[in-house]
Structure 1
Amino acid sequence: MAVVRDGTGTVAIVRAYWSQVHPVFMLPPLAASLFGVILAGTLEVGLAATHLGAIFAAVYTAHVKDGYVDFHVRGEDDDHPLTERGCRIGLVLSTSTFAACCLALFAFVDWIAVALTVPTWIIAYFHAPQLDTNPLSATTGYPLGIALSLLGGFYVQAGTLALVPVGFALVFLVLLSGIKVIDDAQDYEYDRSIRKRTVAVALGRQRADGVAYSLLISALLLVVGFAAARVFPPSAMLAALAFAAVAVFARRASPDIATMLLIRGSYVFLAVLVFAVWFEPLAGLL
C-alpha cells in the first residue's frame, strides 16, 4: 500500500515526510529547550541534543496527526501529501523516536526529566481531534508545550528546577496563549460552522480580541514584575518593551496580519530575553 498520495519512489516519500516539518511552529519549542539550557548555565551536549530530539519528535507527531485528522477524518484540508497508512507510519516513527529519547533521559538524568517531557507528546498527539475542540485546551496546548520544553531543557542540565525558569515558562504560557487566541480568530467563520469551540467562537470576535490582548499585557507585566523583584535580570524589561511595540501595530491589524506580526514578535521577544540573560547589559546600572 502507498504511503504518499502523489508520486512514487524514495524521493517522493522523503519529500512527503519532510513536508510535515513546519519551521514556523517547530522552532519556538526547540528554541525554548535551548533557552532552558542557557538559563541553567551549563551545557551537556548529549543531554541537550536528546531533549531537543524528544521535543522535535513531539511537534512532528502533532503535525502528522493534525494533517491526518484535518484531511482524512474531518475533510477540512484540500490536500495532504500522505495517505492514511503514510500518516500512521509517520506517527509510529515519531513516537518511537520520542520514546527512545525519553528512555535516554531516564537513564542519564532521572524520572523527573521524563515527567517534564512526556506531556509534550500527549499534548501533540491528542491536540486533534480532542484538545482542539475546547476553548481552554485549544488555546493553551501549544503554549504549554513550549513552557514544558523550557523547563525540561533547564532540568536536564541542572538536575533541578528554580524560580527563574518557572517564571519564564509562565510568561511564555500566558504570552503565547494570547497569540493563539488571535490566531484562532482567523478561522472564526469555519470553526463556527463545524462547532469547533475556540475562544473566538465561544465568546465572539470582539470579546476574544479583548481576552487575547489582556493575556499579552499580563505576560509583559509579569516580565516587568519579575525583573523588578530581581528574579529576572533587569534587562529582561527590554524584551517586554520590544514586544509591546509589535503588539501596538498588531492591535490595529486583521487577525491574519496580527498573528504574523505577533509570532515574529515572539521571536524577537525570545531573542532579547536570551541577550538579557546571557549578557545582563543593565546589571551595573540598576
Structure 2
Amino acid sequence: MSLARHGSGVGATARAFGSQVHPVFMLPPLAASLFGAVLAGTFEPGVATLHVLAMFAAVYTAHVKDGYVDFYLRGEDDDHPLTEQGCRLGLVASTTAFVACSLALFVLVDWVAAALTLPTWLIAYYHAPQLDMNPVTATTGYPLGIALSVLGGFYVQAEAFAAVPVGFAVVFLALLSGIKVIDDATDYDYDRSIRKRTVAVAVGPERADAVAYGLMVAALLVVVVLAAVGVFPPGAVVAALAFAVVAAVARRAPPKLATMLLIRGSYVFLAVLVAAVWFEPLARLG
C-alpha cells in the first residue's frame, strides 16, 4: 500500500506525513492552549500536555482533510504529498490520537474538559468541504478553534471558568476572524469561480476589507476596555498597541503581504499578552 506520492520507503512516507505539519497555522492553537494554562495561575504539566496534544491532533486532522479535499476532490491544488490511502491513514491516526487525549482528559479532569476539546476536532474535520462554503463558518472556524483552545487550556488547569479566559477567547475570535477575512481575499477570483462563499465573495473585496479591520479594531477595543476595568492585566494594552501598529502597516499592503504581516502580528500580540499575564504577579509584589 503506497502512502506517499513521491518516492517510496520509510523516509519518503515520513516526509509525506510530516509535510502536513504547517507551523504557521499549527503553533497558534498550541500556544493558545498554553496561554490558557498560564491564565489559570497553576500549572499541571500532565493535563497541559494532553490538551496541547489534542490541539495538535485536531489541527493535523484539518490539514490532512483540507489537502485531501483540495487536491483529490476539488482539483484546487497542483500536488499533494500523500496518496488517498495516505490521507485516510493520516486522518485515522490523528483522530485516534485526539480521542485518546480527550478520554484521558475526561478521566483526569472531568467531562467538561472533554466537551470543550471535542468541538475543535469537529471544526477541523468538517472545515472542508462543509464549513468553508459559508462566509460565517469559513471565517470563524480556525479562530473559534483558537478560542476553544484558550478556554480548554484554562479549564483543564482550574476546573472552572472565569472572566479572564472568556474575555481573551472572545478577543482572539474577533481578531483572528478579521485576519481570516483578509487571508480569504487572496483567493477571491478562484473562490468566486467555484462558488465558494467567503466574506470577500459574499460582499465584495472592498467591503470585506472593511469587515476585517472592523473586527480587528473591535477586538483591540475590548482589550483596552477590559484592561481599564481590571479584568485584563494593564500590560494587555501594550499588546493591543503593538498589533495596532502592525495592522496599520498591513492596511496599506496587498492581501498576501497583509496576511503575512497580520499573522506575525498576532504572534507578537499573543507573546506580549503572555508576558503581561506572567509578570503581573511580580509587578504587584514590586
The normalised TM-score by structure 2 is 0.98
Cα distance in 2 for residues equivalent to 1:144 and 1:171: 11
Runs of 5+ in structure 1 lacking a partner?
A: none
Residues 136 and 199 in structure 1, CA contact (< 8 A), matched pair in contact too: yes
- How big is the shift at 1:280? 2.6
Residue 219 of structure 2 corresponds to which residue in structure 1?
219
CA apart distance, 1:281: 8.9
Residue 236 of structure 1: aligned partner: 236
The residue that corresponds to 1:108 in the other structure is 108
Q: What is residue 93 of structure 1 aligned with on the other side?
A: 93
Distance 1:244 1:283 in 2: 25
The Cα offsets for residues 204-232 of structure 1, whole Å up to 9 and x where unpaired, read as 00000000000000000000010011000
Q: Give the unaligned 5+ runs of structure 2.
A: none
Give the Å deviation of 1:62.
0.1
1:110 maps to a residue whose letter is D
For 1:140 and 1:269, how far apart are their aligned partners in 2?
A: 19
1:133-212 alignment runs, 5 A limit: 133-212=133-212
Task: Check conservation: 1:50, 1:101, Cα contact below 8 A.
Answer: yes
Q: Distance in 1 between matches of 2:180 and 2:282?
A: 32
* Separation in 1, partners of 2:235, 2:170: 18
Q: Give the distance between the partners of 1:6 and 1:276, measured in 2 at CA.
A: 46
Amino acid corresponding to residue 233 of structure 1 in structure 2 = P
- C-alpha displacement of 1:144: 0.2
- Whether 2:18 is the aligned partner of 1:25: answer no
Measure the CA separation in 2 of the matches of 1:180 and 1:208: 10
Distance 1:246 1:282 in 2: 29
Contact 1:42 1:158 in 2 (8 A): yes
- What is the alpha-carbon distance in structure 2 between the residues aligned to residue 283 and residue 10 of structure 1? 52
TM-score by length of 1: 0.98
What percent of counterpart residues are identical? 74
Which string of whole-angstrom CA distances, capped at 9 and with x for unpartnered residues, describes residues 110-147 of structure 1? 00000100000000000000000000000000000000
Q: CA deviation at 1:279?
A: 1.0
Across the aligned residues of Structure 1 and Structure 2, the Cα RMSD in angstroms comes to 1.0
Deviations 1:36-59 (A, max 9, x none): 010001111110000011000000
Q: Distance in 2 between matches of 1:282 and 1:38?
A: 14
CA shift for structure 1 position 91:
0.2
- Cα distance per residue 1:244-266 (max 9 Å; x no partner): 00001000000000000000000
- Partner Cα separation in structure 1 for residue 9 and residue 139 of structure 2: 39
- Equivalent pair of 1:235/1:281 in contact (CA under 8 Å): no
Task: Map 1:45-64 to 2 at 5 A.
Answer: 45-64=45-64
Q: Which amino acid aligns with 1:198?
A: T
Equivalent-residue separation in structure 1 for 2:6 and 2:257 (angstroms): 32
Q: For 1:233, what is the secondary structure of its paired residue?
A: coil
Distance 1:45 1:208 in 2: 41
1:276 is aligned to 276
| 3-state secondary structure, aligned to 1:234 | coil
The code of the aligned residue for 1:24 comes to V
Dislocated runs of 4+, deviation >4 Å: 281-284
Aligned partners of 2:60 and 2:108: how far apart in 1? 24
Q: CA deviation at 1:282?
A: 10
Q: Across the two proteins, how many residue pairs are aligned to each other?
A: 284
1:283 deviates by 5.7
Residue 36, structure 1, aligned to residue 47, structure 2: no
Q: CA deviation at 1:35?
A: 0.1
